[in-house]
Amino acid sequence: AANGSGVMGIFPSVPLVSFGLPPNISCSAAANGIVAVINAKASVVNLSFGSPAQCFTLFRTVEAAYGAGTLVVAAAGNEAQQGNAPNYPAAWPHVLSVAAVGQTLAPASFSNSNAAVDIAAPGEAVPVDTPIVLFTCTLPPCS
């Protein structure tokens, strides 16, 4: 990293577009956020939230994003100890569903592990870097 310690991302010069969501994420707020970052030219959308309940509005928005060529990535969920049910939007078609593994590469005790999971990545004790420059989109417009 630029400070001589920590980690650096794979593409540190790539701008990040952020859309803030309220603490209690509604279906419409999530759908509006996806539309906003797509309109800001994001080619990958990370959805670090989920629910065991499906929402048609969010489903159609995710499908539209995929249809426009956007990679939609979503958290598989952290409910493994509460039954491990599929989590949405991660369990929908065309969404890259990501679960967590621990330092031994075994599934993390909290992470969902079901047929909807596409890939697992480190999810415990992960060092993170603070970006030098963070592009935050204030809508509208983004540039």
Q: Distance between CA atoms of 77 and 111, rounded to whole angstroms?
A: 6
Mapped onto helix, strand or coil, the DSSP state of residue 27 is: helix
**pLDDT tens sequence across 116-133:** 999 999 998 877 666 555
Token pair recorded at residue 92: 């929908």
How are beta strands 44-47 and 71-75 bridged, if at all? Answer: parallel
List the beta bridge partners of residue 95. 72
**pLDDT tens sequence across 5-41:** 666 666 777 777 888 888 889 999 999 999 999 998 8
Predicted pLDDT at 13:
75
Residue 42 has pLDDT above 80, yes or no: yes
9 vs 108 pLDDT, higher one: 108
Contact 86, 56 (CB under 8 A): no
Predicted pLDDT at 7:
63
